[in-house]
Amino acid sequence: MEDWQSKAFERQIKQYSDETTLLRKEVEKFQLILEEINLFYCELNLEGRTMLFNTPFCQALGYESEELAGMQYEKLLDSSSQETFEAALEDVLKSGLPKRRFDYILLKKNGALLHTETSIFLLTDEKKLPLGYRILFQDITRRKQAEELIKKLAFQDTLTGLPNRRLFHDRLVLELNQAKRNQERFAVMMIDLDRFKEVNDTLGHYVGDLLIQAVGQRLTHLLRKGDTVARIGGDEFILLLPSLPQGDNGCRVAEKILSAFSEPFSLENHEIHITPSIGIAIYPDHGDNMDLLLRNSDIAMYAAKEKGRNMFEYYLKNGRNSETTVR
């Protein structure tokens, strides 16, 4: 080999060695970044198997790195996310464009779920030919839990866990629409506890709260699966009884409630006797919209109180009540 050829070969070897060293440093730097960032990183090949991932990704899913290596992505996704995730991979491969900030649910080794906000990028070689996918996951489980809590607080009574006024109104609107379409009848039943203030005054608000919770549970156990019981105020509850059979005006439910309340509530070593006053409005007889049904069931409930409490009353347009049951 000529001297100039030998020197040229040495230069090529040195250049290759320098490039290899630089590449190794870049890889090490990239790996260090992956370990430090507050994101889960994973690379998949075109067959959907893991090629590279950072330690937080392993730790979050509860796997050792040896277990994750070469794993098919379907095993890492909850069933609810698999179809949409696969479609996202296909879309990224076809378009070459990333898909950013989509929500997917990962499946941990122990079966627990991990909610993530995910971005998917196409991984290519120097000729821009596809090699696989780069995927960034951000854990949003706490955010999802907070959203669920906010949703729960927005639609659920915090003391009893029952639907609150807002959720009841939503369900009432839905029932109105269905009843109009199907020409069905349903009942709205307003319930107010008689002399509840005396419980608070004599036994304290703590026992009063326990009583409200117990009343909610007792009412719930009396109703059908499709019925709704909600708490809309201090000692006020309201019931929605959809799809009433012909000839049924909610009378049997009202009588069941009165009978159930004849049994005392045992709370904190106290036997508490409490009775309900119940007002009933029937759709469409006593109103064909939400405001009328709520107002008229409330009017009927106050009529029951005026007649002596511990009874139920129907609303009548002429102001007289057609039926009264006293326990």
pLDDT > 80? residue 187: yes
Question: Would you identify the CATH topology of the domain 37-145?
Answer: Beta-Lactamase (3.30.450)
- DSSP-assigned states of every residue in 75-123: GGB-HHHHHHHHHHHHHHHHH---EEEEEEEEE-TTS-EEEEEEEEEEE
Positive or negative, the CA dihedral 281, 283, 284, 289 is positive
- pLDDT at residue number 326: 38
Q: Where are the domains of the chain?
A: 37-145, 156-326
Kindly indicate the confidence band of residue 127, based on its pLDDT and cuts at 50, 70 and 90.
confident
Domain 156-326 belongs in CATH node 3.30.70.270: yes
Closest alpha carbon to 253 in 280, 286, 232, 274: 280
Sequence-separated (6 or more) residues with CB below 8 Å from residue 261: 218, 274, 275, 276, 310, 327
Q: Which helix (H) or strand (E) holds 21?
A: helix 3-36
Tell me, yes or no, if the pTM score tops 0.75: no
Kindly indicate the confidence band of residue 164, based on its pLDDT and cuts at 50, 70 and 90.
very high
Closest alpha carbon to 238 in 192, 291, 273: 192
User: pLDDT digit string (tens) for 86-109?
Assistant: 999 999 999 999 998 889 999 999
Closest alpha carbon to 211 in 227, 231, 226: 231
- The more confidently predicted of residues 19 and 215 is 215
Question: Distance (Å, rounded) from C-alpha 245 to C-alpha 14?
Answer: 91
Sequence-separated (6 or more) residues with CB below 8 Å from residue 207: 199, 267, 268, 270, 272
Nearest-5° angle of CA 196, CA 256, CA 274?
15
Q: What is the mean pLDDT of residues 146-164?
A: 87
**Coil, helix or strand at residue 221:** helix
Percent of the chain clearing pLDDT 90 (strictly above) = 70
Matching residue, tokens 């007792």 = 218
